[in-house]
Amino acid sequence: MATEIPDLLISEVGPRDGLQSIKAIMPTADKFKWIDALVAAGLREIEVGSFVPASHLPQMADTALVVRHALQHRGVTIMALVPNRRGAAAALEAGVHKLTIPVSASAAHSLANVRKTREQMVEELYAIVQLRDAIAPGVKIEAGMSTAFGCTLQGAVPEDEVIWLAQQCIAAGADETGLSDTTGMANPAQVRRLFNKLRAAIGVKCGAAHLHNTRGLGLANCLAAYEVGVRTFDSSQGGIGGCPYAPGASGNVVTEDLVFMFEAMGLNTGVDLEKLFAARLLLQAGLPGEPIYGMTPEAGLPKGWLQRSPSHGS
Amino acid sequence: MATEIPDLLISEVGPRDGLQSIKAIMPTADKFKWIDALVAAGLREIEVGSFVPASHLPQMADTALVVRHALQHRGVTIMALVPNRRGAAAALEAGVHKLTIPVSASAAHSLANVRKTREQMVEELYAIVQLRDAIAPGVKIEAGMSTAFGCTLQGAVPEDEVIWLAQQCIAAGADETGLSDTTGMANPAQVRRLFNKLRAAIGVKCGAAHLHNTRGLGLANCLAAYEVGVRTFDSSQGGIGGCPYAPGASGNVVTEDLVFMFEAMGLNTGVDLEKLFAARLLLQAGLPGEPIYGMTPEAGLPKGWLQRSPSHGS
């Protein structure tokens, strides 16, 4: 690795976004092993589950246990997704370091997904912030602006509405607001434009890029986001989760390929690719028969990779 | 499409680079239908075959016939790959508009691939230029610098050697020299740096970016090349060809995904995506059972795509 201090943060969302999108349920013990391996590979932020009713997402029923296990790793930010106050209360009780709350930029998606208007979702966020302030003030809260780049229900989402909603989330007390390409509709020009607008609107509270690979543009969009100053990237080991449409069409950006891209560019992600490939085996072991994605693990590291100088690629 | 004049040129290499990498042989009549469909989709430069011994690449044995068929389409540049004078003579006799000649930037790859040193390959190129000047002076000659971004045999390829060799090719009479990521080792920072150096060395004779998707970085690398002024991109329908290592790991950049990326960014490629998807069916029909790649065709065009304004995405 180039330096001790990483140039950017890869936020691994596989244990939440990935596992909750797959019908099969990964056994709790396998989740533990997988998360341990992700930590060993150098990942420093991991979204380990969702606090949602088990009847709705049985894959996430053990999230409190998973959080408790993951908290044993020092120096790793343990995150969970919560859609509402009830979930937030459970997550705070479990001891997470950071909450992520999905807020739909698309009016149609918001109603369809959480049966709330966007304004009602901002109220929910405000209530979660109040709860956090009351019982766990050190916990960070991120609003993740879903469908920020387009919506399968309504098509285009006006950029002004995305930015307006991000501002509402910050006003409600979120520590940061990121942008999510929930539907895989983003393109690099749009990614640059919208993150620039977001930064102009909320400054350093501009959060992560959560980009999908639905149409193969995931890495190009991450590159575009990096170019305009984004330094936190959500991705999923094996590309699990998101909204895969077809075999080979992964949903989330593949952590392995994303780390390879940035490391090959000479940037330090803090992640060891060979150890990341080892973690992939534990993902596969915990979800036998499930398709997983990623080209770098299949192709292997290029000849000469390990012989790179400390300032590789510069 | 945004304007009458495309912003960039997609050079379709599937009928050559794709088909010669696949063991199955596409029947000549199916090649005709596929190429006709590619033209109908708006592709304006197509590499239709290689002039190499049929004993070596039986998939390319009908290249002269394919060239003759393709030449019926007005306004489309018909290209062929030729590795030597003998191939060039056959290609010029068949009537191609443009020759592409692979020149390995890696000394080790050059010897292994064509059993010639790089200097000997430049001499071969010079002889081809002489032949062209004598019998078909209107034909363009492109040198494609293979392994420009790294080599599976020798690892890193010194950038100074790539640029030196490109200058030798131009001095030998090539009209343009492009850079090829034969081994899928390129990263966006390197693509920017090397194309910038190439432009500084050979100016407007800087040719196409021929990038692979071996490790998933194909589109990100094309984006990087676009950013530094490259306007011609080689790609392959269905991602066939190149050096696929594994299912899902296509070799060449997928034309469908590349066109989608640029069009989504508001750039006019001149290619109609729905007609391109129609051409894909003919590729599949001509190669039954062969895996083909590409995420955009599987996911489909995003909602609202057809309703874009003429200045979409700007």
ipTM of the complex: 0.93
Taking the Cβ of residue A294 and every Cβ of chain B, the question of whether any pair is shorter than 8 Å is answered with: yes
Give the model's pLDDT for residue B304. 85
- Residue type for A225, please? A
The answer to the question of residue B1 being in a domain is: no
The pLDDT of A252-275, averaged and rounded, is 97
pLDDT of residue B247: 53
Q: Which element (helix H / strand E) includes B309?
A: none
pLDDT tens digits, A78-89? 999 999 999 999
Q: How confident is the model at residue A247 (pLDDT cuts 50, 70, 90)?
A: low
DSSP strands (E only) in B230-300: 232-235
Long-range CB contact pairs, B56-59, < 8 A, 24+: B57/B20, B58/B25, B59/B19, B59/B20, B59/B22, B59/B24, B59/B25, B59/B26
Q: Which residue has the tokens 């999905």?
A: A102
Q: B249 to each of A249, A250, B30, B36, B313, how far by Cα in Å?
A: 12, 13, 25, 27, 29
- A167 domain residue, yes or no: yes
Nearest-neighbour CA in chain B from A66: distance (Å): 31
Q: Using CA atoms, how far apart are residues A108 and A115, in angstroms rounded to an integer?
A: 10
A39-50, pLDDT tens digit by residue? 999 999 999 999
Whether residue A110 is contained in a domain is answered as: yes
User: Given this model, what pLDDT does residue B55 score?
Assistant: 94
Encoded tokens for B144: 């494609």
Residues of chain B with pLDDT under 50: 1-3, 309-314
Say if CB A214 and CB A243 are below 8 A apart.
yes
- Other CB atoms within 10 A of residue B303 CB: 16
Residues of B in contact with A299 (CB under 8 A): 184, 214-215, 245-246, 249
What is the b/e burial string over B253-285, where b = at least 16 CB atoms within 10 angstroms of the residue's CB?
bbbbbbbbbbbbbbbbbbbbbebbbebbebbee
Reported as a single tens digit per residue, the pLDDT across A149-206 is 999 898 999 999 999 999 999 999 999 999 999 989 999 999 999 999 999 999 999 9
How far does Cα B79 stand from its chain's mean position?
10
List Cα–Cα distances, A44 to A12, A141, A203, A252, in angstroms. Answer: 8, 17, 23, 18
Chain B within 8 Å of A158 (Cβ-Cβ)? no
Total tally of structural domains belonging to chain A = 1
Domain range for B107: 9-307
Q: Is the predicted pLDDT of residue A96 greater than 50, yes or no? A: yes
B249 has which bridge partners? B246
Q: Which residue has the higher pLDDT, A46 or A291?
A: A46
Task: Give residue B123's pLDDT.
Answer: 98
Angle at alpha carbon of residue A103, lines to A32 and A71, rounded to 5°: 20
Q: Which two tokens stand for residue A135?
A: 């019982």
Residue B297: closest CA among chain A residues belongs to which residue? A215
Whether B233 is covered by a domain: the verdict is: yes
Confirm whether B314 is domain-assigned. no
Count of other CB atoms within 10 angstroms of residue A305: 18
The 10 Å Cβ neighbour count of residue B63 is 30
Residue A185, domain member (yes or no): yes
CATH number, domain with residue B81: 3.20.20.70
Active site residues of A: 243
pTM of the model: 0.94
Would you say A36 and A23 are in contact if contact means Cβ atoms under 8 Å apart? no
Q: Nearest-CA residue of chain A relative to B192?
A: A265
B243 is catalytic: yes
How do residues A219-238 score in pLDDT, each as one tens digit? 999 999 999 999 999 999 99
Question: B145: part of which helix (H) or strand (E)?
Answer: strand B140-146
pLDDT of res. A311: 42
Residue B185 lies in a domain: yes
Q: Does position A244 have pLDDT exceeding 90, yes or no?
A: no
Nearest-Cα distance to chain A for B285, in Å, is 20
Residue A312 in any domain: the answer is no
Residue A314 has pLDDT above 50, yes or no: no
